[in-house]
Amino acid sequence: MNKDKTLRKDIRKDFPILSKKILKTKDLVYFDTAASAQKPQVVIDELNQFYKSHYSNVSRGVHTLSVESTLRYEEARKKVQNFINAKSENEIIFTKSATESINLVAQTFYDKYMSAGDEIILSLMEHHSNLIPWYFLRDKYGVIIKFANITESGEIDVNHFESLITPKTKIAALTHLSNVYGSKIDEKVSSICKKNNVAILLDGCQSAAHLRIDVQKLECDFFVFSGHKTYGPSGIGVLYGKEDLLNEMPPYQGGGGMIGEVTTDKVSYAELPAKYEAGTPPIAEAHGLGIAIDYMNNAGIENIINHEEELTKYAYEKISELDFVKIYGDGDNRNSIISFNIENIHSHEVSSFLDVEGIAVRAGHHCCQPLMKHLGVNSTSRLSFGMYNTIEEVDIFINALIKCKDFFIK
């Protein structure tokens, strides 16, 4: 493990896509990690090797390949447990995506703990993946959804959040790190939930690759994240849930792998974590996620954090110097993400112009339409950092923004 305070200077060489030329002339500057992170060569190689030498279905056979595949699948679970400091491997459920993880919690938590008229608290800056599953409950069962306000700096208004809680409030589902503002949730929110016996789910899709995650310190009941945003493959998501809750909640899907015994008139279910992993799971993807976690640990989580904080601060200061750019939220509680607009230029035009310069940024509503409405815009441009980005790339980006403004505004 890298115990220095900085990342290896040659770390970019680990990511083969960064050598790609855009339009055959421009070096790729990838500022879209919040959408999906690029993959280090070791993850690519391990996935290939897994399929070449070890692949078989898991937990269903005693032959050599099945045993090898199962061992790697369960090793990945242990790596995730350590990565987020869960108490038990039984608290780690593999899904196909963080979206599926949230849907799993929404449906099974309702089935066990809620009824019509009970309340859920969300915030105005949630990703659609942490809105729609709860909307399903509202539309189908008549639960009530309340929205916590956000401040101008892009943080949950803690006082307003607390004022929303009533004896009917059963769960809050909130982003741990906003995919528009880059702002982190105030830790007081979890304490407020605990004090009021309200369960809390944290959407960690943006935080898992950029912060040190400790679910016990966070005092959350559920935590979700996705493999593809943590330098691993797509098609793998993680659900952490407290073991006592997962034991009480019913299965989400039925099929092979999650049963204890089946007869013609009854069924019993497997123990955790198999209870929630019906069917053939994302086997190779789980292994790839485990390798990506190894890679992040070897790079040094604190080193990644320090590097990205430096990048974010530098970029925020440089963009703030441009009087034709509006940044959403402030820089004090921001990590790895900056959303902005150039006056009188649509975000899609900005993104297209930057692409010609070799720079990949996201443009659109970022699956946060309620937040866009709150901000009074249809969309924003967004740059987001990974461990492989550099100060020099930020300078390239700033120069390209100036060129963009000069091109569109004569």
Question: What's the pLDDT tens digit per position in 156-185?
Answer: 999 999 999 999 999 999 999 999 999 999
Give the C-alpha distances (Å, rounded to integers) separating 404 from 41, 361, 410.
34, 14, 11
User: In terms of pTM, does the model score above 0.85?
Assistant: yes
* Length in residues, the chain: 410
Are 335 and 233 found together in one domain? no
User: Cα–Cα distance between 388 and 386 in angstroms, integer?
Assistant: 5
Question: Do 384 and 31 contact (CB within 8 A), yes or no?
Answer: yes
Whether residues 258 and 142 share a domain: the answer is: yes
How distant, in Å, are the alpha carbons of 78, 98, 332, 394 from that of 40? 21, 21, 30, 21
Q: What's the CATH number where 105 sits? A: 3.40.640.10
Domain assignment present for residue 6? The answer is no
Active site residue 205: no
In the block, residue with structure tokens 């997962």: 246
Of 282, 297, 312, the residue that ends a domain is: 297
Q: Is 278 a member of any domain?
A: yes
Is the pLDDT score of 1 beyond 50? no
Confidence category of residue 5, pLDDT binned at 50, 70, 90: low
pLDDT tens for residues 240-275? Answer: 999 999 999 999 999 999 999 999 999 999 999 999
What confidence tier does 222 reach under pLDDT thresholds 50, 70, 90? very high
Which domain-ending residue is among 250, 265, 297? 297
Q: Within this chain, do residues 109 and 203 fall inside the same structural domain, yes or no? A: yes
Same domain, 330 and 255: no
pLDDT at 410: 73
Q: State the residue range of the domain holding 22.
A: 11-30+300-408
Same domain, 176 and 239: yes
Q: Does residue 311 share a domain with residue 204?
A: no
The backbone region for 226, taken as left when phi is positive above 0, alpha when psi lies in -120 to 50, beta otherwise, is beta
Q: Report if residue 2 sits inside a domain.
A: no
The DSSP line for 305-337 is HHHHHHHHHHHHHHHHT-TTEEESS-STTB-SE
pLDDT of 358 strictly over 80: yes
Question: How is the beta sheet containing 237-241 ordered, strand by strand?
Answer: 92-95, 237-241, 222-226, 199-203, 169-175, 119-123, 144-148
pLDDT tens digits, one per residue of 324-351:
999 999 867 899 999 999 999 999 999 9
Same domain? For 181 and 198 the reply is yes
Across 111-221, the runs of DSSP E, i.e. the strands, are 119-123, 144-148, 169-175, 199-203
Domain final position from 266, 297, 328: 297
Assigned domain for 326 exists:
yes
Q: Residues 360, 288: one domain?
A: no
Strand residues in 153-258 grouped as ranges (E): 169-175, 199-203, 222-226, 237-241
For residue 38, being part of any structural domain is answered with no
Q: What is the mean pLDDT of the chain?
A: 96
- Is residue 283 a part of any domain in this protein? yes
Q: 241 and 118 in one domain?
A: yes
Structure tokens given for 113: 């703990």
* Active-site residue (options: 193, 205, 367, 404): 367
